[in-house]
């Protein structure tokens, strides 16, 4: 669901309203500009992403886009996707946990300072796309599928290839392939439905 501003985002995430407002107020006291990107509150400095807020089913998170560069304030940081996310770090809160903005603010201020200094983490070079045998055969035998797959971004192509490759059993791989063929033909990514929440 697309939201037009942070007020609407908070309204939609009723279960987390108090916590989201509390962190938002702290972020608004800084020099960061508030906007919505990828359907979630994002805080920028000169159009560069510094921090973000996200509400999930079991927790909310304060994101730092270059959080891996934080050196003075690191105790609460976690990498949400080990071995996938190089720069992003987050601080998570579950329902009932105290949100102490006096503890959080130094993280934000250090992230702002890093952005002012132009510190960033360079993205890794793209890995070669390894298309599993099952998908290769399907692409070879279905021209429409092949054309649709080629029109996807390299990230979406990789999502589909990895989705099949990660299945251990042949039957699971076949089932996954069957499920994704209509999605590929529609031109959507494997995880698109989650990206617009």
What's the pTM?
0.62
Q: What's the pLDDT at 156?
A: 86
d(CA 105, CA 64): 12
Residue 193: pLDDT band (50, 70, 90) is low
> Residue 123 carries which DSSP code?
P
**166 closest CA partner among 193, 194, 190, 142:** 190
Phi-psi region at 82: left, alpha or beta (left = phi > 0; alpha = psi -120 to 50): beta
β-pairing, 40-45 vs 48-55, is antiparallel
pLDDT of 196 > 50? The answer is: no
Token pair listed for 10: 């908070």
Please give the domain boundaries of the chain with CATH numbers for all domains: 6-116 (3.90.1150.200), 133-195 (no CATH)
Residue spans of alpha helices (H) in the chain: 6-12, 17-28, 101-116, 133-141, 143-151, 154-165, 170-186, 192-195
pLDDT of 180 > 60? The answer is: yes
Average pLDDT over every residue of 1-10: 85
Residues 9, 17: contact at Cβ < 8 Å?
no
Residues 60, 24: contact at Cβ < 8 Å?
no
**Tokens 């886009």 sit at which residue?**
65
User: pLDDT digits over 64-117, tens only?
Assistant: 988 888 888 778 887 877 666 677 888 999 998 989 989 999 999 999 999 998
Token pair listed for 123: 């993205």
Residue 123: pLDDT band (50, 70, 90) is low
């Amino acid at each position: 669901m697309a939201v037009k501003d942070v007020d609407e985002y908070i309204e939609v995430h009723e279960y987390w309203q108090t916590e989201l407002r509390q962190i938002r107020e702290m972020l608004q006291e800084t020099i960061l500009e508030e906007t919505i990107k990828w359907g979630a509150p994002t805080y920028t400095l000169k159009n560069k992403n510094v921090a973000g807020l996200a509400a999930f089913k079991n927790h909310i998170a304060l994101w730092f886009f270059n959080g891996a560069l934080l050196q003075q304030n690191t105790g609460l940081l976690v990498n949400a996707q080990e071995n996938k996310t190089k720069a992003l770090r987050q601080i998570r809160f579950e329902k009932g946990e105290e949100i102490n903005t006096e503890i959080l603010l130094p993280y934000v201020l250090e992230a702002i300072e890093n952005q002012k200094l132009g510190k960033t983490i360079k993205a890794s070079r793209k890995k070669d796309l390894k298309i599993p045998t099952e998908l290769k055969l399907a692409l070879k035998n279905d021209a429409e599928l092949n054309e649709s797959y080629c029109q996807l971004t390299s990230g979406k192509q990789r999502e589909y290839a990895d989705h099949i490759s990660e299945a251990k059993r042949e039957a699971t791989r076949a089932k996954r392939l069957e499920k994704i063929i209509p999605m590929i033909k529609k031109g959507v990514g494997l995880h698109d439905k989650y990206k617009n929440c």
